[in-house]
Amino acid sequence: MTVARRAWLVPAVLTGTLVPFGVLAYRAATSRLGPNPVATALNQLGLLALTLLVASLLATPARLLTGAKWPLKLRKLLGLAAFFAALLHLAVYVVLDQGLDFGGLARDVVSRPFIAAGFAAVLAMTPLALTSTRRALQLLGPRRWQALHRLAYVAGVLGVVHYVLRVKAFPTEPALYGAVLGASFAVRAVLGRHARSS
Amino acid sequence: MVGRRLPPEPKGAEITPPALYARRREFLKQAGGFLATSAGWGAGLTWLSERGAADPAPVAKRLSPSPPPPGSASPWSSLVVSPESLPKAEATPFDAVTTYNNFYEFGLSKSAPARAAGSLKTTPWSVRIEGEVKQPRTIDLEDLLRWFPLEERVYRMRCVEAWSMVIPWVGFPLAALLSRVEPTSNARYVAFTTLYDPEQFPGQKSDVLEWPYVEGLRLDEAMHPLTLLAVGLYGNPLLGQNGAPLRLVVPWKYGFKGCKSIVSIALTRERPKTTWAAAAPSEYGFLANVNPAVDHPRWSQRTERRIGQLERIETLPFNGYADAVAHLYRGMDLTREF
């Protein structure tokens, strides 16, 4: 009986991905989220969602750059984890931050580009999470499935926009996420076209 | 060589079969890969997601209110409780007031100031009184403390980011100082400047804002009895993260108006170019009065989260001080002049 060479990869990344969620849950349960726990949880979950989403979008450029196949194995896991973090982020915002004030929420989504961008990012990720199974891929057919999953780029851009619009001054952090995302698009544009034409 | 006896050959059955031996190595490789990857990815992800978010309590453990200065001559022993005060029972806990701060001179996160404030040296400290005054001069902080009786004033503090605290400040009315230094008839505004020293304020090494931090008030706002120059909170001298040793407190305005670690108070003819209003003029006005009816362009100002409470509460016009200050802005369109 032989084991695939990187059989540990997906379980390892899954385990690692659970760590920040676990740390956050532990801190929340033991009142260690600082003087403004709602804001801390909101910020950490938002950053986690964005980091995971950007990481999932790095799989294809990593494959194009190195030729290795293993990054693609992580794409689904990272994408689903990003969606999970984004849903928790949204839940903390709706329930704990806004106290289920749906009138105020509706006003915010309509009138504030920052909220609208975040909301749209979650909406864009939803069909991707729902069609992440092998069965959905078969039902849709690879071409339609792939076209649909280009929404992940849209979600990534919306996530960065949401982050940039949130900050007060202009710290480097949101710019870094934007730069990483931009670089990944550039690699895709250059090498992806090259790979298709050759 | 001769004379050295080799151990007996192991019996054939004791030798690990090559396939099993290879599997053990394979297992170790897989286990190593798993452990390294899960630990590295987990730690990296946790680190990334905690950056920028106000990080939690360990900071508070290193802080405790420093004891009041000894001796009966201390200005602290005779604190007058101002009639302008809210009940002290409403005050936000000391740990929150001293670990959840916006003070970009020490870093961008809420916890950075409490962690970095040790680099600020507040003795000796002096303040330049300059511009349109009859006698421009530099005053030592100790002299300031001798000139004016210190009061305790429990004020609401509303941050432009829609959170708030209730803080028992110790200080004296700015009006008392201004009256003493005698503004000329040309003076119409007061500009406050924070110390510029990137060695003490590491945040000033980044150009996230234009340094030094400058804030300002109209002269009538500066002379208002609610406007305070604070030198302490919770009965003790200010800690670095709260703007030691001398800061401005204007309770009906957003917190960013409260210039910290002040080294210059200048009376001017022209409206001073204040830091946030210059950085983002469409978002932060010169007046910056707390106003639930005028939203920040990116978020609502209708409600606020009082630190320590889960439920949001309604934000009050002029932060609840409308009766005392609304007359200063009579006839102005506060949706345009925000």
Q: How confident is the model at residue B75 (pLDDT cuts 50, 70, 90)?
A: low
Report how far residue A158's alpha carbon sits from residue A164's, in angstroms, rounded to the nearest whole number.
10
Identify the residue with better confidence: A122 or A103. Answer: A122
Q: Give the C-alpha separation, A105 to A95, whole Å.
A: 11
Cβ contact (<8 Å) for B52 and A47? Answer: yes
User: Which of the residues B45, B95, B207 would you substitute to probe the A interface, choosing the one with the greatest number of A C-beta atoms within 10 Å?
Assistant: B45
Residue B194: what residue type? Answer: T
Locate A53 and state its tokens.
Answer: 């989403």
Question: Where are any strands of DSSP class E within B13-136?
Answer: 80-81, 126-131
Cα–Cα distance for residue pair B283/B70, rounded to 1 Å: 45
Do B192 and B275 touch, CB atoms closer than 8 A? Answer: no
What is the rounded average pLDDT of the residues A1-14?
81
pLDDT in tens, B155-206: 999 999 999 999 999 999 999 999 999 999 999 999 999 999 999 999 999 9
φ/ψ of B311, rounded to 5, equals: -75, 140
The answer to which of A30-34, A125-129, B154-158, B198-202 has the lowest mean pLDDT is A30-34
Cβ atoms of B256 and B262 closer than 8 Å: no
CA distance B210 to chain A (A): 11
Query: In the predicted model, what is the mean pLDDT of residues B26-44?
Result: 92
User: Taking CB atoms and an 8 Å cutoff, what residues of chain A touch B52?
Assistant: 43, 47, 171, 173
Considering chain B, what is the average pLDDT of its residues? 89
What band does B69 get if pLDDT is binned at 50, 70 and 90?
Answer: very low
- The whole-number pLDDT of residue B67 equals 42
Comparing CB atoms, the residue among B54, B57, B209 nearest residue A169 is: B209
Query: Inter-chain contact B42–A7, Cβ cutoff 8 Å?
Result: no
**In the structure encoding, which two tokens stand for residue B219, read together?**
């002269």
Among chain B residues, the shortest Cα distance to A24 is held by: B46
Asked if B238 and B308 count as a contact pair (C-beta separation under 8 A), the reply is: no
Please report which confidence band the pLDDT of residue A3 belongs to, taking 50, 70 and 90 as the band edges.
low
Contact A34/B279, CB-based, under 8 Å?
A: no
The predicted pLDDT at position B52 comes to 56
Q: Which of B40, B99, B161 sits opposite A34 (nearest CB)?
A: B99
**Chain A residue numbers touching B30 (CB-CB < 8 A):** 3, 7-8
Structure confidence at residue B71 as a pLDDT band (50, 70, 90): very low
B295-314 pLDDT, tens digit per residue, is 998 888 999 999 999 889 99
Report d(CA B171, CA B235) in Å as an integer: 10
Q: Please give the C-alpha separations between residue B115 and each of A100, B48, B92, in angstroms, as whole numbers.
A: 35, 19, 20
B46, two tokens:
């946790």
pLDDT in tens, A81-113: 999 999 999 999 999 988 888 988 898 888 888
pLDDT of residue A31: 87
CB within 8 Å: A11 and B34: yes
Among A3, A17, A32, beta carbon nearest to B57? A32
> B207 or B256: which carries more pLDDT confidence?
B256
- Name the residue of chain B whose CA is nearest to A49's CA: B49
Chain B: nearest CA to A196, how far in angstroms? 32
Q: What is the pLDDT of residues B97-142, one digit of tens each?
A: 999 999 999 998 898 999 999 999 999 999 999 999 998 999 999 9
Closest by CA to B157, choosing from B309, B320, B287, is B320
Q: Which of A159-173, B3-17, B26-40, B317-331 has the highest mean pLDDT?
A: B317-331
Q: B67 versus A117: which is more confidently predicted? A: A117
The tokens describing A196, both together, are 């298709």
In this predicted structure, what is the pLDDT of residue B72?
Answer: 39
- Element holding B10 (H helix, E strand): none
DSSP B104-139: GGG-SSSSHHHHHGGG---SS-EEEEEESBSS-EEE
CA distances from B32 to A19, B22, B37 (A): 18, 15, 8
Query: Which distant-in-sequence residues (6+ apart) come within 8 Å of A95 by Cβ?
Result: none
Q: Are A121 and A162 in contact (CB under 8 A)?
A: yes
Residue A183 in this model has a pLDDT that exceeds 60: yes
Beta strand B312-314 pairing with B236-237: unpaired
Give B250-293 pLDDT, tens digit per residue: 999 999 999 999 999 999 999 999 999 999 999 999 999 999 99
Q: What is the pLDDT of residue B222?
A: 98
- Residue A184: pLDDT over 60: yes
Binary contact (B38, A15; C-beta < 8 A): yes
Q: Among partner residues A11, A12, A40, which is closest to B53 by beta-carbon distance?
A: A40
pLDDT of residue B151 exceeding 60 = yes
Does the beta-carbon distance from B312 to A99 stay under 8 Å? Answer: yes
Write down the pLDDT at residue B9: 76
User: Going from the N-terminus, what domains does chain B have, and what CATH number goes with each?
Assistant: 77-329 (3.90.420.10)
Host H or E run for residue B169: strand B163-173
pLDDT at residue number B337: 86
pLDDT at residue B202, as a whole number: 96
B266 in Cβ contact with B214 (< 8 Å): no
pLDDT band at B56, cuts 50/70/90? very low
- Helices A37-57 and A172-187, packing angle to 10 deg: 20
How many Å apart are CA B159 and CA B168, to the nearest integer? Answer: 16
List the B214-218 sheet strands across, edge first: B137-140, B126-131, B262-268, B189-194, B214-218
**Strand pairing partners for B133?**
B183
